[in-house]
Homo-oligomer: A and B are copies of this chain.
Amino acid sequence: MGTPIVTAVIMAGGRGERFWPKSRKKCPKQFLSLTNDGETMIQKTVNRISGLVKPEHVYIVTNDEYINLVEEQMPQIPKENLLREPAARNTAPCIAFAAAVISKRHGEDAVMLVLPADHLIRHEAICEDVLHRAANAAVETQSLITIGIAPTYPETGYGYIAFSRSEKAPEGFYRVSAFKEKPDYQTAHHYVESGHYLWNSGMFAWQAKTFLQAVQAHLPEAASIAQKLHDACDTDSFEEVLEQEFPKMPSISVDFGVLEHAEELYTISGSFGWDDVGSWPSLQRVARTDENGNYCDGDIMAIDTKECVISGGKKLIAAVGLEHIIVVDTEDALLVCDISDAQNIKKVTELLRAQGREEFL
């Protein structure tokens, strides 16, 4: 057995609304540049792994609506590597689809680095190293590997992984003993203090066969559909099979549908300035801020203003005497929001939906 090929599977079908009004149905977060450097989040994700994975081994799972954005933003990825989900079915079916195609094209030993398209990482080189070690560990242990992140504060917006030492684990890896859903603040505080928990980054490494075996064991229906996709892949009937079979997939996340039930599951404790950038306020943590802690993107004049998130375009934006305020200006919609109320931005999109103002969604 030679060294298996390393592929990447980038999940880019999300429709997040937490970056409204910049993120819209037609252009969600992963296709936006949120870091004032011109690169979109998915472009950053693809560039991040360019030292580990050749462009022809990068797969992007998306859908009809975003296929043009993917092609525009990543012309270097072969078109046959853009996988279109005919229906949204959460992450387990998404990854099973990719595993079916990858095992057909690159063999069942091929390693898959599974990555969300819309996270930010401050220390790219360290991240690359961790992913490289995870890929090796996946082959060495023939197990599922999840990338954990050493938590730096009691974030309540992330899931956590409980880990323990194990003699079977490769050096630097730990056995996953439990997945924990988003905790309340006190629980998160306990997790961080205890030293036994990591953030669940949603990044994974495994061989295609390992994942497909786990799907067979825990989501047998999904496995039989994945087998059909595998068989049809690169034949004339593929599109038809995809359209017919994929929507029958159970809608379930890879964490709950597969990983929680796996017997052998390892994690590594990554520390590379990872952030899932789940909301406007998170830009203060991960993007460049001025000397007053303001994140500013656009033609911004900030006077007596601190710890604000201000994102515009060509228009002059003058901020005076503001503290902890989000200002996001677009062509047709403007958001001004107190940072502590950022979770209520969804009330705006809910109200717009209820009012039938789809043009703003």
Contacts and interface: CB of A to CB of B under 8 A. Distances in A.
Contacts of A331: 315
B332 A336 contact: no
Contacts of A348: 301, 303, 318, 320
Contact of A336 (B21, B304, B336): B336
A286 interface: no
A130 interface: no
A335 B318 contact: yes
Given A325-B325, A341-B304, A336 B319 contact: yes
A352 B318 CA distance: 10
A329 B318 contact: no
A320 to B, nearest CB: 4
B333 A347 contact: no
Contacts of A316: 21, 332-334, 357, 360
A73 interface: no
Given A319-B336, A325-B336, A344 B304 contact: yes
A303 B336 contact: no
Nearest to A335: B318
A347 B303 CA distance: 8
How many copies the complex holds: the figure is 2
A347 B334 contact: no
A347 B320 CA distance: 9
Interface in A317-361: 317-323, 325, 327, 329, 331-338, 340-342, 344-345, 347-348, 351-352, 357, 360
A332 to B, nearest CB: 6
Contact of A341 (B317, B320, B334, B345): B320
A346 to B, nearest CB: 10
A312 interface: yes
A322 B337 CA distance: 6
Nearest to A346: B320
A334 B325 CA distance: 14
A336 B322 contact: yes
Given A320-B345, A344-B303, A348-B320, A315 B337 contact: no
A341 B315 CA distance: 22
Given A316-B360, A341-B304, A348-B320, A334 B334 contact: yes
7 contacts: A21-B316, A312-B334, A315-B334, A320-B347, A322-B325, A329-B334, A336-B336
Interface of A: 21, 301, 303-304, 312, 315-323, 325, 327, 329, 331-338, 340-342, 344-345, 347-348, 351-352, 357, 360
